[in-house]
Amino acid sequence: MIKHFFTSMYRNIERDKMFTFINLTNLTIGFTTFILLGMVVSYEFNYDKSNKNFDRIYRVQTKQEDSYPTNYCTFSPAAIRYHLMADVPEVEKALIMREISAGQGSGQFFTLPSGAQLFEKYGYFTENAIFDIFTINIKEGNTTNALVEPSTIALSETLQQKLFPEGGAVGKQVVIGKRYPLTVTAVYADFPINSTMRPTYLVSISTYETLAERKGFRDDWTSIDNDNYVLLKKGTDPRLVDSKIKDAFKNVKNFEKSTPYLYPLSKHHLSPNGQSDTLVGLGILSLAGFLVLILSCVNFVNLSLANSTRRASEIGIKKVVGFPKKAIAAQFLTETVVVTIIAMIIGLFAAQAASPLMAQILEKNIEYRVFENGQLLLIVLFTGLLAGLLSGLYPAIVLSSYNPVKVLKGKLFVGTGKSLNLKKVLTATQFSISLFMLIVSFILYNHVNFILNKDLGFDNKNIIYSEVKVQDSIDFETIRQKLLQHPEIVDASFSSTIPFQGNIGGYVTWEGAAQDQREMISRNYVNYDFIPTYNLKMMAGRNFSKDYPSDNKSCIINETALKVFGWTDPIGKTITLFGTPYPVIGVVKDFHPYSVHNPIPSYVMFLGKEELTGSKLLTVRFTPGNEQKAQELVTRELEAFVPNDPFEFKDFKVIFYLDSAISFWQSLKRLFFMFSVVTLVVSSIGLFGLILFTTKRRTKEIGVRKVLGSSVFSIYRQLSYEVFAMLGGAILVACPAAILIYKTMPGAYKEPLSSLVFLVGIALIAIIAQMTISYHVIKIAVSNPVKALRYE
Amino acid sequence: MIHLTNIDKYYDSKFQRTFVLKAVNLEVKEGEFLSIMRPSGSGKSTLLNIIGLLDEPSTGEYSLYDKSVLNLKEKAKVDYHRNFMGFIFQAYHLIEEMTVYENIETPLIYKGVKSHDRKAMVADLLDRFNMVAKKDLFPTQLSGGQQQLVGIARAIIGKPKLLLADEPTGNLQSVQGEMIMETLQELNKEGMTIIQVTHNEKFAEYGKRIIRLEDGIIRKDLINQIAHVPMIN
């Protein structure tokens, strides 16, 4: 019997190759899309899972309720590690990590064997417990005391290959920052790509304590700048630990409203810092994947029903000779499931083949491996079976319950308006899904354009910057004058942070504030030239000026701060930071100091000393088109001043485009655009197939009409009328759904929805529908009516 | 064997009731060869479908071997179709994707006949109808008469007691039609009860008994007294 099923299926496939081709293409596209997206989503959801202790690793973060909006800081003070966590019995191991930086950003310079400087990001000061908490594969050396002694370093394999190409790194010395020699104690395998944290080198925390001369480091409660991790004992409820540590800051002055809390490793990648972008993005993507699959299943159902007239006599005969209804249903179901599974298998290979493209779109250096992802394969198999069953079920039930008398008389669809109505509903579903995908991709497109072109409040073009860490002290004006001698250089300034790079917080009170009112502000120590270099616009008052010696005791605030402080006449009013009052001399118009994704914070600029010392960010504005030249000039001039301190100038555009919000939404836009094209293709296939079969069924009718002299136009009108009625229904479903997506999109700044987005989407679908109808009608119009009548 | 008592079949439309069959009383004995005659649209096919359990009468009684077969459950009907009756159609209704062999084999598949036995049974029939050479051909490669032979073979492979033929010769030229009728006659001689519907006088006379149906009412019921002699004129 099974053999009979398969013979019957095989013959049917063989007989109508066009139908099979359309069906299989349609399903394969659906599955490929679904698997590709599944691959991406599964990859993102499996971040950090290579850690054996995945479920038990938490980062201790700090919630700052006296900031508006409440700030969830991923860092916590060192004392948390050395005091608080040592006293909680549920904590098995505690670990401090502190990103190594040459300036405000992360990273350090290594001296290569050739003598050249190599800038490596993602180094951490940390301790031996890292080997116990995280799963790290040691290649060389040992872990028992690799990071105990001062001046010890463990290298990742990649870095080891750069520094010691000949191998045997353990015991040798590396020099960082041109001046600190460290002894290599271990070499570890690179962290997997899907790890939130991928240290390229680890330096013992004792190195930091001695080099930075931070004796009281372990008792510091106020510098919230360390990554503290804990490994909880098995079976511990993190909420229990949360409740035990929540009062830790109670007795720390100015930190009374801060609370430490545990943040599980499972959330570090998907919602870092409680930001939901990635989750929402992945949600939208998963939705898209399912929609495309549903779309192709709907197509499948539609086509199967449309084509069922052809199978009518088979069904009728089988019923008449005593095949039970169940057996006929089972046969159709088997057929659907088999076709679906075939499409699924092709889809798996197609997805694997298309995965490099995917990685490119996402700008991720990832090798997706579909066949090694058991979880994904299982989900795909399950979805495949489900999709096969669901899309086979309805046709199977409908076909198997045909009355054989009617079927055998060829009266299959006469008088049974029901199945036709369902077909209309299905087609409307198709329209809805395509329209929805189209509108959402337009919305994303607009959103990305919006954040890319949003007025940042400063001029981000023609700027290069570098982090410099100067040991001595150099008069900045001398450097600046030297640079300005070149006509290519427009201006130069330094500051402790620059937009999109670095952030220093602090609490201030202000004139007119209530008794216990405080505000978390972003502060920046700038020089006289910062505001002109970035072309910030003054709203009131003036910039810092050498004509006013008292300016080093005053400050400039931004528009948001002005609103928060509630002043009408800000000039001369004072704010108080760490007990020192600073009068306001100017207000700058709001600009984006961080990602355009976040709201603009209250921002206060103070005047720094006019000398380059310690860690500073240097910004140079050049004349348009001279980027390369400016970079060379500045590097050469600065090298003369700081021969012993490594630095590297970068184009400002780089940090702007690397801004996670921008790159994330851009990837999402590209992905979604690709998939809305896929959706359009799939629904065109569906529409094409459907109209093909409808007109096939009507060939005779149309032939008769033509003989009777009826115009092709009336046929066209009728078909169009049907299709556009369905499109109307689709609009009612798709538009509100797209609006919902727009509303759930995170981000402080969104472009208001434009009706154009909807109109263009609808127009596009309408055009495709029109084209399909026209194609068929033209085909009929030019055909010979006699031929049509001879049909059967 | 078959008892139809006061069978009505009608369709209700908004204002009137259209009768397809009216007060049909019919008894068919085992071994009969019954021809139901008259133009199309007179309810012959409906009657045949009711007898074949493909349709239900609106009112009336229908029993097979004194057992009522009205309102049977799907399963019971399937059982009758499988083991008791076979069908032949005007349009043959062969499954186009299947070969002659597979078409004939189809009814056996659900009877649970083993593959080995099926082969033997199909081979027997192919032999009987002189179609062994054509067993791997598809229906479209056969002439109408040959297709109908396959139809008959398929209908009788399950050794049904009752064979129902709905215009078995309707699509055939007369020579081929005669061949089919002779085959049916032969089957009848072997003891199979046959009911055929036809509008062809000549072919109706192959039956031992002819009923004329007009507007859903049996007008005439005559038993052929004379054994049929093929007419050559």
A643 has a chain B CB within 8 A of its CB: no
Give the least confident one: A549-553, A575-579, A654-658, B204-208: A654-658
Q: What is the pLDDT of residues B209-222, one digit of tens each?
A: 888 877 666 766 76
Q: How are beta strands A180-188 and A152-156 bridged, if at all?
A: parallel
Query: Is A527 within a domain?
Result: yes
Task: Assess whether A673 and A744 both reside in one domain.
Answer: yes
Choose the mutation target among B73, B88, B89, B109 for the interface with A, i.e. most A CBs under 10 Å: B109
3-class DSSP state of A507: strand
A4 and chain B: CB distance < 8 Å anywhere?
A: yes
Rg (CA), chain B: 18
Over 70: is that where the pLDDT of A10 sits? yes
Whether A751 and A670 map to the same domain: the answer is yes
Q: Is residue A649 part of a domain?
A: no
Parallel, antiparallel, or unpaired for β B162-166 and B193-197? parallel
In a domain, A40, yes or no: yes
In this structure, are A287 and A429 located in the same domain? yes
What is the average per-residue pLDDT within A469-486? 81
pLDDT digits (tens, 9 = 90+) for A549-579: 888 889 999 888 888 888 888 888 888 888 8
Which tens digits make up the pLDDT trace of A168-217?
889 999 988 888 899 999 999 999 888 888 899 999 998 888 877 777 88
Residue, of A387 and A10, whose pLDDT is higher = A387
Is residue A248 in a domain? yes
| Domain shared by A444 and A563, yes or no | no
> What is the rounded average pLDDT of the residues A83-93?
84
Best mutation target among B106, B136, B197 (most A Cβ atoms within 10 Å) is B106
* CA–CA separation, A503 and A519 (whole Å): 15
Q: pLDDT of A59-78, one tens digit each?
A: 999 888 766 567 788 888 88
Q: Which residue of A has its CA nearest to B53?
A: A320
On whether any CB of chain A is under 8 Å from the CB of B57, the answer is: no
Q: What is the pLDDT of residue B41?
A: 63
Clarify whether residues A33 and A70 are in a common domain: no
8 Å CB contact of A320 and B49: no
The answer as to whether A172 is a domain residue is yes
Residue range of the domain that includes A146: 54-268
- Which among B49, B80, B95 is the nearest to A314, CB-wise? B95
Dihedrals phi, psi of B41, to nearest 5 degrees: 90, 5
pLDDT attached to residue A416: 43
Amino acid at A516: D
pLDDT exceeds 50 at position A663: yes
Q: pLDDT band for A315, please (50, 70, 90 cuts).
A: confident
Per-residue confidence band for A130, with pLDDT thresholds at 50, 70 and 90: very high
Nearest to A323 among B91, B110, B158 (CB): B110
Q: Which two tokens stand for residue A546?
A: 């050498």
A203, A236, A268 — which closes off a domain?
A268
Q: Is B76 on the interface with A (CB under 8 A)?
A: no
Please give the residue of chain A at the shortest CA–CA distance from B112: A1
Query: End of a domain among A239, A268, A297?
Result: A268
What values do phi and psi take at A763, rounded to 5?
A: -60, -40
Q: Which CATH architecture has domain B2-65+73-223?
A: 3-Layer(aba) Sandwich (3.40)
pLDDT-based confidence at residue A309 (cuts at 50, 70, 90)? low
Segment among A482-486, A516-520, A750-754, A784-788 with least mean pLDDT: A784-788
- Residue A756 covered by a domain: yes
Q: State how far the Cα of B149 lies from the Cα of B92, in Å rounded to an integer.
A: 9
Q: A394 and A312, same structural domain?
A: yes
A404 interaction partners in chain B (CB closer than 8 Å)? 54
**Residues A480 and A445 placed together within one structural domain of the fold:** no
Contact B74 A404 (CB under 8 A): no
Helix (H), strand (E), coil (C) string for A572-593: CCEEEECCEEEEEEEEECCCCC
Could you tell me which chain A residue has the CA closest to the CA of B105?
A4
Task: Indicate if A669 and A573 belong to the same structural domain.
Answer: no
Residue pairs spanning A and B at CB distance below 8 A: 76
CA separation for the pair B141, A467 (Å, rounded): 85
pLDDT, tens digit, 9 for 90 and up, residues B59-114: 999 999 888 988 888 788 888 888 888 888 888 888 877 889 988 988 888 787 88
Count of domains for chain A = 3
Count of alpha carbons within 13 Å of B1, Cβ hemisphere only?
A: 17
How close B231 comes to chain A (CA, Å)? 32
Same domain, A245 and A302: no
Res A106: pLDDT: 64
Structure tokens belonging to residue A237: 């409820």
Among A268, A290, A310, residue at a domain's last position = A268
pLDDT in tens, A221-270: 888 888 899 999 998 898 988 888 888 788 777 777 788 899 999 888 88
Pair A323, A430 in one domain: yes
Between helix A277-320 and helix A660-707 the angle, nearest 10°, is: 30
What does the pLDDT read at residue A786? Answer: 58
What is the pLDDT confidence band of residue B232, given thresholds at 50, 70 and 90? very low
Same domain, A608 and A730: no
* DSSP state letters, A267-301: HHTTSGGG--HHHHHHHHHHHHHHHHHHHHHHHHH
pLDDT in tens, B11-48: 887 778 888 888 888 889 899 999 988 666 667 778 88
Mean residue pLDDT of chain A comes to: 82
pLDDT at B4 over 80: yes
Whether A240 and A95 share a structural domain: yes
| ipTM of predicted complex | 0.74
pLDDT at A92 > cutoff 80: yes
- Whether pLDDT at B233 is above 50: no
Rounded-to-integer distance, Cα A177 and Cα A158, Å: 19
What is the structure's pLDDT at A549?
Answer: 84
**pLDDT in the model for residue A186:** 93
Query: What's phi and psi for A191, nearest 5 deg?
Result: -65, 145
Is there a contact between B108 and B158 (Cβ–Cβ < 8 Å)? yes
